[in-house]
């Protein structure tokens, strides 16, 4: 084992874990593009990203339950439907790899979804949490299926679609949507990791374990910082985060790998610094 590499992945997992706990996005949304820039095969990049998100969703779920940000019923239903979505996406990725089409398809999916949800967040107005009962099960099912499919297609927890879809379709308050998303994503990610391991993804699982450990360190820190900011401000910040990642993915797709990598690094570090130096904002 390369100790230096393990420590690097541990640090990477910790930094991404902080963002994960704050935004409820799992962390793979940053790691998958980063690994693709470094030349990883799509299946290997997704497998490692899912391992990172396994760590962040485990720690994040515990943190958000303590903070009372989780709707248990919604989390279980979304997670259960999400597992089914992972079963569809995993064989699709391996099929696309045989056609050398996995990277462009995944990249275009990132750009389209991130842009759409960023626009939704920028246009949204502050609202109170709505009352959603049993009639919401079809909506919860759709959210879960879509989130699970996206999770295993793109190597993410699915939180970056689960959170905004809950806000949009269920009228869920932002902080509660974040907590419920990361709890549901735990079930989705466990299924995704198992699927890729069984399918034979060529990933270094020691690196994956280092990412898990780092994410479990960083995620509770980010979840705690979330309480210092208003839901509306979190929405705007998440929208800006999505736009920057979408631009980075587009640059990588166009062949500007160094510029793409630099943007991802600056973006992540800037957000992390801002979480700790800014006062409580309303």
pLDDT digits (tens, 9 = 90+) for 34-73: 888 888 888 899 999 999 988 888 887 888 898 888 999 9
Domain annotation covers residue 282: no
- Mean pLDDT of the region 173-191: 89
| Domain span holding position 227 | 3-277
Mean pLDDT of the chain, nearest integer: 85
Question: Is residue 129 predicted with pLDDT exceeding 60?
Answer: no
- Chain centroid to Cα 170, Å, comes to 20
Domain annotation covers residue 162: yes
- Mean pLDDT of the region 200-226: 88
- Start-to-end CA distance of the chain, whole Å, equals 47
pLDDT of residue 227: 76
Q: Reduce the DSSP state of residue 281 to 3 states and report it.
A: strand
At 132, is the pLDDT very low, low, confident or very high (cuts 50, 70, 90)? Answer: very low
Residue 187 near residue 83 (C-beta atoms within 8 A): yes
Domain annotation covers residue 247: yes
| Closest listed residue to residue 46, CA positions, set 81, 88, 94 | 94
| Closest listed residue to residue 32, CA positions, set 96, 99, 107, 104 | 107
Query: What tens digit of pLDDT does each residue of 41-52 get?
Result: 888 999 999 999
Domains identified in the chain, total number: 1
At 278, is the pLDDT very low, low, confident or very high (cuts 50, 70, 90)? Answer: low
pTM above threshold 0.85 = no
pLDDT of residue 72: 93
At 134, is the pLDDT very low, low, confident or very high (cuts 50, 70, 90)? Answer: very low
pLDDT of residue 26: 66
Domain annotation covers residue 102: yes
Query: What tens digit of pLDDT does each residue of 61-118 get?
Result: 888 898 888 999 999 999 999 999 999 998 989 888 888 888 888 889 889 988 887 8
pLDDT of residue 125: 60
- Mean pLDDT of the region 248-264: 88
Domain annotation covers residue 196: yes
The domain spanning residue 107 has which CATH number?
A: 1.20.1250
Can you say whether the dihedral through the CA atoms of 219, 260, 92, 209 is positive or negative? negative
Residue 166 near residue 180 (C-beta atoms within 8 A): yes
- Mean pLDDT of the region 140-157: 89
Domain annotation covers residue 185: yes
């Amino acid at each position: 084992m390369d100790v230096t590499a393990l420590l690097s992945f541990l640090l990477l997992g910790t930094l991404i874990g902080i963002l994960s706990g704050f935004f409820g996005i799992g962390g793979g949304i940053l790691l998958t593009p980063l690994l693709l820039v470094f030349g990883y095969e799509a299946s290997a990049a997704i497998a490692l990203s899912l391992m990172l998100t396994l760590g962040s969703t485990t720690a994040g779920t515990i943190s958000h339950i303590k903070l009372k940000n989780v709707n248990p019923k919604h989390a279980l239903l979304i997670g259960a439907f999400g597992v089914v979505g992972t079963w569809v996406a995993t064989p699709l990725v391996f099929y696309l790899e045989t056609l050398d089409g996995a990277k462009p398809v995944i990249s275009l999916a990132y750009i389209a979804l991130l842009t759409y949800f960023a626009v939704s967040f920028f246009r949204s107005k502050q609202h109170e949490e709505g009352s959603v009962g049993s009639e919401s099960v079809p909506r919860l099912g759709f959210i879960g299926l879509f989130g699970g499919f996206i999770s295993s297609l793109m190597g993410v927890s699915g939180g970056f679609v689960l959170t905004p879809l809950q806000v949009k379709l269920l009228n869920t308050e932002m902080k509660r949507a974040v907590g419920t998303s990361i709890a549901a994503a735990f079930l989705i990610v466990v299924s995704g990791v198992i699927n890729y391991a069984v399918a034979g993804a060529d990933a270094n699982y020691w690196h994956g374990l280092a990412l898990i450990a780092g994410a479990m360190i960083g995620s509770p820190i980010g979840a705690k910082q979330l309480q210092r900011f208003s839901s509306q401000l979190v929405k705007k910040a998440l929208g800006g985060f999505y736009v920057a990642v979408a631009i980075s993915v587009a640059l990588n797709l166009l062949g500007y790998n160094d510029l793409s990598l630099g943007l991802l690094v600056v973006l992540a570090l800037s957000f992390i610094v801002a979480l700790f130096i800014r006062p409580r904002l309303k």
